[in-house]
Amino acid sequence: MNIGEAARASGISRKMIRYYEEIALLEPARTVNGYRVYGPQDVQTLRFIGACRRLGFPMTDVKALLGMWRNRSRSSVEVKRLTDRHITALRERVTELNAMITALEALAQACDGDDRPHCPIITAMANPDGSHTR
């Protein structure tokens, strides 16, 4: 199949398929004319990559997971270790995002949202060190 068919079959955009090829996650066969030809295994690989990305794994981890998936004699301990690290990173990110939400809610609460130019949101962003000069 061509790249368009592979994209439809896998749910991955053509642009992302080309990117995955560029970073050597996928190596489709080529015709004598140099055209890419995708087979069922390539589509399965794309689906695997897509599942990893939907779970938020960074590309370095996707590459590692792909290698583990391809290695049928692997031990699951490495897969679990990598996944546990990712869970920890996600929890840290959630904490950071919650802190951002709290800060933004406080700023939004302090802003009157009227026709006057004074805005605590703009003031806070213009003075992240806490000073209140204009």
What is residue 82's predicted lDDT score, i.e. its pLDDT? 97
What is residue 131's predicted lDDT score, i.e. its pLDDT? 66
What's the first-to-final CA gap in the chain, in angstroms? 61
pTM beyond cutoff 0.75: yes
Which overall architecture, per CATH, does domain 3-126 show?
Answer: Orthogonal Bundle (1.10)
| Mean pLDDT along residues 52-71 | 96
Beta strands in the chain (DSSP E): 29-30, 36-37
| Mean pLDDT along residues 91-97 | 98
What is residue 65's predicted lDDT score, i.e. its pLDDT? 97
Torsion of CA 29, 35, 41, 45, to 10 degrees: 110
Band (12; pLDDT cuts 50, 70, 90): very high
